[in-house]
Amino acid sequence: MTSDHAADMTSDHAVDIDRHVRVYITVFVALMVLTIITVAVSYLDLSMAVAVPVALFIAIVKGSLVAGYFMHLISEKKLIYAVLVLTVVFFAALLALPVITQSNGFWIQ
């Protein structure tokens, strides 16, 4: 291995690290902007029916950024996505359970 080849490998590695750091900083800035938006929305006089979906949408976007980039799920195989979709379905079912039981008395005697 020549010194020129080793220098090229080191240079390529440094460029790769710089690219990853730039992505992490971009995601961090996006999370900070979304946090500011969350706080700003909390000061608006929104009804509960509007405020909750807006807050959930912002939280989903922030959670997706964290899971995708900081937990490295952006480059995972399709099996991970299948498990994630199944988890979201069960989570949605658990969120819907109190709504179903409260609105028509289903499962409540």
Whether 71 contacts 27, CB under 8 Å = no
- 52 and 85 share one domain: no
- 61 and 91 share one domain: no
HSE toward the beta carbon, residue 30, CA cutoff 13 A: 16
- 15 and 61 share one domain: yes
Q: How many domains is the chain built from?
A: 2
- 89 and 70 share one domain: no
- 70 and 80 share one domain: no
Q: Which domain holds residue 18?
A: 3-75
- 9 and 47 share one domain: yes
More confident residue, 31 or 100: 31
- 40 and 66 share one domain: yes
Taking only the tens place, the pLDDT of each residue in 16-54 is: 888 889 999 999 999 999 999 999 999 999 888 888 889
- 31 and 51 share one domain: yes
DSSP letters spanning 15-54:
HHHHHHHHHHHHHHHHHHHHHHHHHHHHHS---HHHHHHH
HSE toward the beta carbon, residue 41, CA cutoff 13 A: 18
- 61 and 90 share one domain: no
HSE toward the beta carbon, residue 48, CA cutoff 13 A: 0
Taking only the tens place, the pLDDT of each residue in 64-99 is: 999 888 888 777 788 877 888 899 999 999 888 877
